[in-house]
Structure formats: structure tokens, C-alpha cells
Amino acid sequence: MEAGIKTRPAIIGTGSYLPERIIPNRLIEEEIGMPYGAVKRRTGITERRWAADHEATSDLATRAAEKALKDAATGHGDIDLIIVTTTSPDMVFPSTACLVQRNINARNAAAFDLSASCSGFIYGLSIADSYIRSGSVSVILLISSEVKSRFINRSDPSTYMIFGDGAGAVVIGNGNDESGILSVRVSSDGSRSDIIELQGGGSRNPISDVTLKMGLHFVKMKGGRLFKVAVKKLYEEISDLVKENGIGLCDIDQFIIHQANLRILQAVAERLGICEEKIFISLDQIGNTSSSSIPIALDMAVRGGRIKRGDLILLAAFGGGLTWGSALVRW
């Protein structure tokens, strides 16, 4: 690459993996005494996937990575960097990214994890975008993988009924003048970190009989507050992104927004004044898969023909931290 010339990064391959185990709404409704159809009415979710007992986050990530690499016609030895976004890693350390590196034998790659809750993929995309533009690397494997089912309290409907497991991956390389990542934005607000959190297992609340009895190793969520803030921030983030890039909402061919809850997606669409058909929906069949929801939905949309070459795609996410972000991609 000539000095001073920057390249535009592009997503050159996508892949995803969903566990085989299906958890239908009926099972949850019967277990916690909810009326039939209540979960679908409250969330838009019909079923979700949970990892098998022998599957961990790195296993799901590896399966998604292999599919993305095949789609991109990229060899394991060509990968310069592996980024895994997750809040449900195999273990505290080594990183899940290093375990994936081992699994796929990507010996030439550096590897690290990133934690930004449901916004993780957008944060990872921001880092990958900067790396490619700097010229320091050429090929990045970005994976978002979650096994949130291991951190769910089955007596808490607010989390039990929404979370699913899965992994999505993209290969990011050099694009061209017609396609690529046009813009990425990320933000956070730590003053509202208590809205959704998992307190146990860290240095603040290390595992003990007390933390186990208090249920600190389960995800806890203040759903009402989260809904209001999520709708507001997603609306503002999407509006700011299109304004910043000098385009209108009508120019976007497909919106892929974090698949948290159908009511959130509908509320965002209403505030933006866009038809719901422009927002890709995958949560009805797989639930809320946290940071992996966007790359899974992206892969499904590409393979299902909803995204075509030349389309303008807007990605947006909101999650714990609080964190949020967005990206504009020309396919």
C-alpha cells in the first residue's frame, strides 16, 4: 500500500451458527405459570435456541467463523486479527478469541475479546474499521458469540423469555470506492450501568455461597427503564448517523437493529417514520442473542436475498453499560 493512501474496509464474508436445541414459548410459559401466548405478545419471540451442554461460546464462535471464512474465500493463514465480542466467555482467561484462534489454526493472527454487551458487534466493527484504515492489518475476523442461557434465572420472566444463544461472524478486508464501511459511531453512559447487569463472578463480587444465594450470577434487567432508554437512544443514534452522512432515512435499503424485543423495534420504526418491513427481523425464531444478534441477522439477510450488492445498510445496537452505536455499510 502506498504511503498516505487509506483503504476503505468492507465486509467480504458472513457466517452464523445457531445451536440445534429449540426452546419454544410453551415450555417457558408452563414452567413459570404464564398464560399461553403471553411471551409472544410481550416480546415477539416464538422460540429461541440454547447451546447443548457440551457447547461453549468458543464452540459457537468457531462454527460461525468457519462459515464466514468460506463465504469470503479466505484461508486461516490470511487472518491478521481475531476479535470476539461476548459477555458470556468460556472462562475469565484466556480470551475466547484465543480459543477460536486455536480451533481454526489461525497461527498468524493476534486475538482478543471485547465486552460491550448487546452493542459488542458495533464496537468490534469500529475497532476493525480503524485497524484496516490504518494499514496495519489487511484481514480481520470479527465474531460475536453468546451463550446467555447459562446466566438466566428461570424464575425471572424478564430474562428467561427473551435470551437465546448463537454466534455471528464477518470477515473484514479491503473494499473499493463502491462498497464498504462508510461510517461507524459508538457511545456509552456508565452512569446508568444498573439498568442491565450481571454482578457476580468478578473482583467486586467473587463467587461465594453468599453471591450464589443472592442470585448475583444471573442477568438482572430493569425492563421498563431499559425499554424507554433503548427507544430514545436508538432513535437519536440512527437520526444522527444519517444526518452526519448527508443522507435521508429513505436512502437506507435495510435496517438491521439489535434484536432485543419486537416492541422496541416497532417503537423505533414509528418514531423514525419508516415502515417496519425495512427492519429485518430474526428474533421471532432465535430470541435476543445479545451481541451476536446483528451479525446473525446480517448473515440471514444476505443468504436470504434481502441484502443485495449495492444496497445501503444501517446497523444499530443498544445494550448494557449503557452502550450504543451504529454503522453505515454499502454492500
Q: Which residues are catalytic?
A: 118, 258, 288
Q: Which three cell numbers stand for residue 141?
A: 475476523
- Name the nearest CA neighbour of 87 among 321, 330, 324: 321
Which residues, including other chains, have CB under 8 Å from residue 32's CB and lie 6 or more apart? 154, 155, 157, 160
Contact 283, 259 (CB under 8 A): yes
Which residues, including other chains, have CB under 8 Å from residue 326's CB and lie 6 or more apart? 122, 184, 185, 237, 238, 241, 314, 315, 316, 317
Helix (H, G, I), strand (E, B) or coil at 107: coil
Helix (H, G, I), strand (E, B) or coil at 19: coil
Over its C-alpha atoms, the chain yields an Rg (Å, rounded) of 19
The long-range contacts involving 264-271, CB below 8 angstroms and separated by at least 24 positions, are 264/227, 264/230, 264/231, 264/234, 265/44, 267/227, 267/231, 268/231, 268/234, 268/235, 268/238, 271/231, 271/235
> How many CB atoms within 10 Å of residue 182?
19
Contact 326, 257 (CB under 8 A): no
280, exposed or middle or buried, with CB in 10 Å at 0-12, 13-18, 19+?
Answer: buried
